[in-house]
Amino acid sequence: MPINKLFDGNIETMRQALTLRQERQGLIQSNVANRETPGYTGQDFNFAKVMQSVMSGQGELARTDKGHMQLDAMEASKTREFASEKRPVDLDQEMVKMAENQLMFQVIAKTIGKKFDSLRYAIDEGGK
């Protein structure tokens, strides 16, 4: 088994999910902070849709020239998914979204932890 199989693609996927959750937290905080700012419109992206698009590799942009900037799949998917909702911020909704987001962040963080735990177990026990 090649060594790179040890750290399989799941870790990279989870890293992306964690980053997305963190960025969404920033957006929600921005919404809560500006809840009474005149003219501010709430912003958010659909986590499931962005993640799905990242995992299926749809987000990737073709680079037809060496001079093109690299835009990662996540960035491209996110840009497409941004819902610029033209309505004022609803505080209750934002707080619910934040609780959900925070919980899911913890789930992913814990899962990554478990992943490393099982790796460590394999390393420790394999040497015996």
Partner 1 sequence: MDTLTAMQISGSALKAERARLNIAAMNLANANTTRTIEGGPYKAKSVVFAAKPLEGVNFQDTLNSTTERLRKVEVVQVSEDKAPFKEVYDPSHPDADANGVVRFPNVNVAEQMVDMMSAKRSYEANVTALDAAKSMALKALEIGR
Contact residues for partner 1, defined by CB under 8 A = 18, 21-30, 32-40, 43, 45, 75, 78-79, 82, 91, 94-95, 98-99, 101-102, 105-106, 109-110, 112-113, 116
CA distances from 74 to 26, 27, 28, 48, 107 (A): 16, 16, 19, 12, 20
Q: How far is the CB of 62 from partner 1 (least distance, A)?
A: 18
Q: How far is the CB of 121 from partner 1 (least distance, A)?
A: 13
Nearer to partner 1, 13 or 43 (CB): 43
Q: Which two tokens stand for residue 84?
A: 């610029």
Q: How far is the CB of 79 from partner 1 (least distance, A)?
A: 5
Nearer to partner 1, 55 or 100 (CB): 100
Nearer to partner 1, 25 or 52 (CB): 25
For 74, how many CA atoms within 13 A lie in the half-sphere containing its CB?
14
Other beta carbons within 10 angstroms of residue 66's beta carbon come to 5
Nearer to partner 1, 32 or 55 (CB): 32
- Report CA dihedral (3, 13, 20, 63) to the nearest 10 degrees: 90
Q: Which residues 6+ apart lie within 8 Å of 23 measured at CB? A: 78
Q: How far is the CB of 29 from partner 1 (least distance, A)?
A: 5
